[in-house]
Amino acid sequence: MNNIEIKNVSKKYDGFLLDKISFDVPSGAIVGLIGENGAGKTTTIKSILNIIKSDGTVKIFNKDVKQNEKEIKQDLGVVLDDSFLSTYLTPKYINSVMKDFYKNWDEEKYNDLLKQFGLPDNKLIKDFSSGMKMKLKIATAISHNPKLLILDEPTSGLDPVVRNEILDIFRKYIEEDETRSILLSSHITTDLEHISDYIIFIDKGKIVLNVPTDELLENYGIIKCSKEEFSKISEDDYISYKRSKYQYEVLTSDKSKIKKKYNIRAIDKPTIEEIMLFYIKGER
């Protein structure tokens, strides 16, 4: 069962094309959307939320989002990096407003989260730090117990301690009910290594990679070799390579195969960031 199914979603802007994006977000999974700034992550999220008009189909909870928008959004929690209800309100007012939007708004849960996050309920949001603002956005997004969380850059601009706290909240949210899912976009890929079940990599409006995170971290490898050694590796066995003065770095998606086939012993385990860089900057 998938909580999100998107098929051939396209959106054209001046100088940018989101090109027939298709992927699923299974229930119980955390899916990380990665890519450079301007690669299409936010456009994808806006298309899913029907904030922008795009071509293709988006289904949430197996229902077309364009036809069942209001109903679907009752079970959806959203965090946007640069937008919230109002910065001129206090968390107390947010509670008062939100209970009129969501049938399942849990006032007690919201107040508990405020306490847990150490957020004052009578201070104007505009006077909050970035970390406090993000915690409030997250508390607001999960206080109606949504089935699906969609988060656009929820950890950007935050220090590692706050980022870790936030990732813990997401883990706990999924553990509470395994039919829930999270789709989160981030350019801080280390966060996703720790938390995501799937990684979707968007580059220049296209999906270049959609794999389980474990597979990515276990099977992918970086071979460091000389020019001579590199010339022996078949083009079919690597994704891309980077040349430096003294050595070649080669990214493969099947390091055990490479080990056996070319008798190479030293293959490094790459980070998601390194894999991303190979896709963007590497030669083929």
Partner 1 sequence: MIKGLLKKDLYNLASYKTTLIVIVLFCGIAIIGTDALYWGSTVIGIIVGMISLSTFSYDEISKSNKYILTLPVTRKEIVLEKYILAIGATILGGLLGFIVTLLVGNVMNYLRPDDFIDVNIETLLSTSIGGMFGISLIQSIQIPSIFKWGAEKGRIQMFIVLFVLVIIGAIAGFLLKQAGLSVDIEKLESILNNFGLVALILLSCLMYFISYKISYKIYKNKEE
* Binding stretches for partner 1 (CB under 8 A): 46, 49-53, 69-71, 73-74, 76, 78, 80, 82-89, 93, 96-102, 150
Shortest spacing between CB 180 and partner 1, in angstroms: 17
Q: Which is closer to partner 1, CB of 14 or CB of 175?
A: 14
Q: Which is closer to partner 1, CB of 145 or CB of 164?
A: 145
User: CA torsion sign, 60 to 65 to 71 to 77?
Assistant: positive
Distance CA 254, CA 62 (A): 34
Distance CA 57, CA 6 (A): 6
* Residue from 162, 161, 160 nearest 138 by CA: 162
Distance CA 112, CA 224 (A): 51
Kindly compute the dihedral angle of the four CA atoms of residues 80, 86, 87, 90, in this order, to the nearest 10 degrees: -110
Shortest spacing between CB 138 and partner 1, in angstroms: 13
Shortest spacing between CB 197 and partner 1, in angstroms: 23
The SS3 of residue 208 is strand
Q: Which is closer to partner 1, CB of 93 or CB of 230?
A: 93
Contact between 31 and 196 (Cβ < 8 Å): yes
Shortest spacing between CB 80 and partner 1, in angstroms: 6
Q: Which is closer to partner 1, CB of 138 or CB of 225?
A: 138
Shortest spacing between CB 109 and partner 1, in angstroms: 18
Shortest spacing between CB 102 and partner 1, in angstroms: 7
Q: Which is closer to partner 1, CB of 33 or CB of 264?
A: 33
Q: List the strands of the sheet with 16-26, edge to edge.
A: 16-26, 2-13, 55-60, 63-64
Q: Which is closer to partner 1, CB of 99 or CB of 259?
A: 99
